[in-house]
Structure 1
């Protein structure tokens, strides 16, 4: 019996409308014509491909080699999760997924990947000719990383979670940056393979970064407070001459909101430390440096 996952030479012996048939060491394998990009073979011709048994227990020779195969890593998409077995992952094989065993996934099944998530992995074949997905170890993951520049701080980036830790999660950004998301910077617990979008809150000397998934302070305020922020940013001195003693009709006329709405919006901005105020004078926009000093 041939060992699945090998790249072998095979001899074309027959064909029909949909497939060629090729022999390897006395076993016949199907070569799907719709996967050949129009390429044709002649009987007796020798071809090369990767052999395995598909989900329908057909012996398949895949002529176009998948990017993910033994010794080669890539991003596979989770197609199904079974709590008693593990995660089924599409790795580019025709009519065949590989399984990442529950033994290779976190003990906490709440942070397992879900359908549609992506895992960075390869696969291997056991003694019983079963295909098992193998998650990339740190050494392999390190080949993906590139250092981030300091000016990426405060930028919003997209990342994929690749490793869970006791105090947070490790991911890799679309650009290739290594990111760490502390549990205090998560809105809800993350899971392996999940795609996230967050704000860079720190860039380390080695080029790795810390990410926060929590909304920026100005994203947590209501429409009236947002409007005040816009007006403050438009002023050359980032100042508005309105306060709790201002005339209600003047506030309504100039800002388009009631005095109670104004006071509530100012309260939100003060709580988020986005502005400062002085009684009887007005409100000022806090700079990022002033905001940090207030911590």
Structure 2
């Protein structure tokens, strides 16, 4: 059975002037247009292809890579808006439709939004929804405190950042736990800090041992990790240079590296500070 919106492994059944026709036990007429046909192929060979509906609403295959698949989330740009809804650029020839009913606020051309892709049960077409939170479920959590998870940053709120956890749960990173620049659509690892009695997830961006660091020390520690373990700043660096790189005063910086040094997380050398292998 061909699954629209996902990758399918199908056999090459025949070659025609318009492309290859692929199939499996249930389908024998799925077209792979000429522009996607590999240079070398054999009848009977299996191909892994993505399946969706073309401009004529016919099932079609592509060897192209979409930016979102069925039952998943992504941060996509609006290519066009018309009287029916918005159309997202998801990396394929035909844009992905977002009906007005699936837009919490009217989408605008050129802007990017976190969306969820699903098969509409009425039309049997792939559509997207900007109401991403509807597709998350925290009623059955198989997670534990400290566990590493994959995050998509979905939205900034008064409390912090709403995040999508492992493509299926909703979590929150509180503002006071954020020590790096975040933007909607960012994909990054995180860690479960707490599972509340109401099944809400508190998430942090650093392993739980690191969050015990005070904010300035954690900021320096995080930046060291992002820069390959070295930061060419030290206690004799120009205050303006420290401000430019870390957005903190020299006094705060010296206190931060003092904390990291006492915890044996860094070495202080003449040319800067270095992470100590843990």
Q: Do the two structures share a fold, i.e. TM-score over 0.5? A: no
Structure possessing the higher radius of gyration over alpha carbons: 1
Report the TM-score, using the length of structure 1 for normalisation: 0.43
TM-score (norm 2): 0.44
